[in-house]
Amino acid sequence: MNVEKRRTSLWIIVAVALASTLLVACGGGEPDTPAEPPTVPPSPTPAASPTPSASEHMEMGLDYRDADQLDEAAAEFEAAVQLDPDFAEAHYNLGLTYADMGEYEMAIAEQEAALELVPDLAEAHNVLGMAYYGLERFEEAIAAYEEAIRLAPQLADAYFNLGHAHAALGDHAQALSAYQEAARLSPDDFETHHNIGLAHIKQGQVNEAIAAWEKAISLNPDFAETHYALGLAYSDVKRYEEAVAELNEALRLEPERDRAYKHLGVAYYALRQDEQAIEAFETYLRLQPDDPDGATIEATISQLKGEMEASTPGNEYRNAPGGYALLYPDGLVYVEDGTLATFAPSEAALELEVGEAVAQGPVVMFDVSPSTEVAGDFGVAEDAAPEEILQAMAESMEAGLSGLDTGMLGGYPGAMAEITGTYEGTAYAGALGIVVVEERGVGAFAMAPPEQWTGFQPAFTSMFFSLSFFEPE
């Protein structure tokens, strides 16, 4: 029997709301239509006899299906079953064609007719599941797919479709299991690996999702949806440079994917590539002016533009013993003591005790300590994450900590947060920052009178994110 196998033509795609670092899945449509129309094979050769037989109608129907001419294919299969009601193959292909046309009730009737004639026809159970799925009768779809698998344990399409049905019911662990079996049977099918990634995401397994999407892209680098999903996942685990690359690739392949600009802006923002972030956010708002997050995005754009205008560091400072360099704005001077550099608005302020200097204006300090010393001073492990170190630093200062942010700076993990407290009797607002550079921590500490901090904060932020690193001399 010449039976054509077919999988469900329903895609599950992913969208990740990075503003809240939550990953949300949603249903999708058919795969994108190719840019070029498919080549249509020649029309079926008319039968030699004046009245075609059931088999000849069946063959012509298959030719029409190959040409994606579903109406014509259905008519030929219908003629075949009228001439021979016991023609199981014709019933099967007619039901398959009805399913492709969205005529799911008719598809069910034809597959049931095929199964009355050939009860162990696994492919018919598979297509029956497709029709139930199209009618959102997911439990019945699962039963049909499982029967197809019982009859044909090597039928990868049935496992693939079973994964869809479980996912539709929110059972993502079962969906993952089905997709993984489909991948075992058909390891080079990129669609399966794409949906394995989604099943992992729905269970909060971001790194596993990343591995699945990387595999899918290795099999098919031209599917924009996978690049988009991978970009969002990279962003969620703060691999922002890779996120930017994947989101840009998604846009290259599918320029109308507007939401990619929104998440591209988020990734650029995290990388402190402010001009690119502004451009991405503005492009997104131009394309999607009614987005519910529009006010937040506009505020972010204004913040970035304000920071760029308020602080344009043009002076370079290089600390050879500490192995770091940074830019600082006009209006600040500094003094250094080994790896420690202290910045203030005047030479006179630098001669004061820190508490007295802070009472008059902003003070910024950068210093370097070996990881062993950081661990001993603050009671953390030598391989502690930057955010753990910041929290320990704030506790040691009895300072309030807020707005903790983490990411990569110069290729190294870092963190920054705002602090409030009292230093030597002087109330202050400010920020802490640290970058773990191999076996040393490069720390930053800024304080200012609370009423001055808001105006000075962009300058400190620019100084911190201008840090670069080299081997200490």
Tens digits of residue pLDDT in 410-426: 889 999 999 999 988 88
Q: Give the residue extent of every domain in the chain.
A: 12-33+40-302, 315-469
Q: State yes or no: pLDDT of 6 exceeds 70.
A: no
What values do phi and psi take at 466, rounded to 5? -90, -5
Q: State yes or no: pLDDT of 180 exceeds 70.
A: yes
- Mean pLDDT across the chain: 87
Q: State yes or no: pLDDT of 221 exceeds 80.
A: yes
Tens digits of residue pLDDT in 240-269: 999 999 999 999 999 999 999 999 999 998
124 contacts 100 by C-beta, under 8 angstroms: no
Specify the pLDDT at position 313. Answer: 57
The three-state (H, E, C) secondary structure of the chain, written as one string: CCCCCCCCCCCEEEEEEHHHCEEEEEECCCCCCCCCCCCCCCCCCCCCCCCCCHHHHHHHHHHHHHCCCHHHHHHHHHHHHHHCCCCHHHHHHHHHHHHHCCCHHHHHHHHHHHHHHCCCCHHHHHHHHHHHHHCCCHHHHHHHHHHHHHHCCCCHHHHHHHHHHHHHCCCHHHHHHHHHHHHHHCCCCHHHHHHHHHHHHHCCCHHHHHHHHHHHHHHCCCCHHHHHHHHHHHHHCCCHHHHHHHHHHHHHHCCCCCHHHHHHHHHHHHCCCHHHHHHHHHHHHHHCCCCCCHHHHHHHHHHHHHHHHHCCCCEEEEECCCCEEEEECCCCEEEEECCEEEEECCHHHHCCCHHHHHHHCCEEEEEEEEHHHHHHHHCCCCCCCHHHHHHHHHHHHCCEEEEEEEEEECCEEEEEEEEEEEECCEEEEEEEEEEEECCEEEEEEEEECHHHHHHHHHHHHHHHHCCEECCCC
Q: What span, in angstroms and rounded, lies between the C-alpha atoms of 243 and 153?
A: 39
More confident residue, 245 or 466: 245
Specify the pLDDT at position 310. Answer: 58
Predicted confidence band of residue 21 (pLDDT cuts 50, 70, 90): very low
Tens digits of residue pLDDT in 266-287: 999 888 888 999 999 999 999 9
414 contacts 406 by C-beta, under 8 angstroms: yes
Q: State yes or no: pLDDT of 30 exceeds 50.
A: no
Share of the chain above pLDDT 70, in %: 88
Two structure tokens written together for 146: 């499982």
Predicted confidence band of residue 450 (pLDDT cuts 50, 70, 90): very high
Q: What is the pTM of this model?
A: 0.65
- What does the pLDDT average to over 359-381? 94
Q: State yes or no: pLDDT of 364 exceeds 80.
A: yes
Predicted confidence band of residue 20 (pLDDT cuts 50, 70, 90): very low
Q: State yes or no: pLDDT of 319 exceeds 90.
A: yes
- What does the pLDDT average to over 350-377? 93
Two structure tokens written together for 206: 């971001």
Share of the chain above pLDDT 90, in %: 77
Predicted confidence band of residue 13 (pLDDT cuts 50, 70, 90): very low
Q: State yes or no: pLDDT of 362 exceeds 80.
A: yes
Predicted confidence band of residue 18 (pLDDT cuts 50, 70, 90): very low
β-bridge mates for residue 27, sequence order: 12
250 contacts 228 by C-beta, under 8 angstroms: yes
Ranking 3-12, 103-112, 212-221 by mean pLDDT, the lowest is: 3-12
The CATH code belonging to domain 12-33+40-302 is 1.25.40.10
CATH for 315-469 (3.40.50.300, 3.30.420.480, 3.40.1000.10, 1.20.140.10)? 3.40.1000.10
Specify the pLDDT at position 37. Answer: 32
Residue corresponding to tokens 């002076």:
315
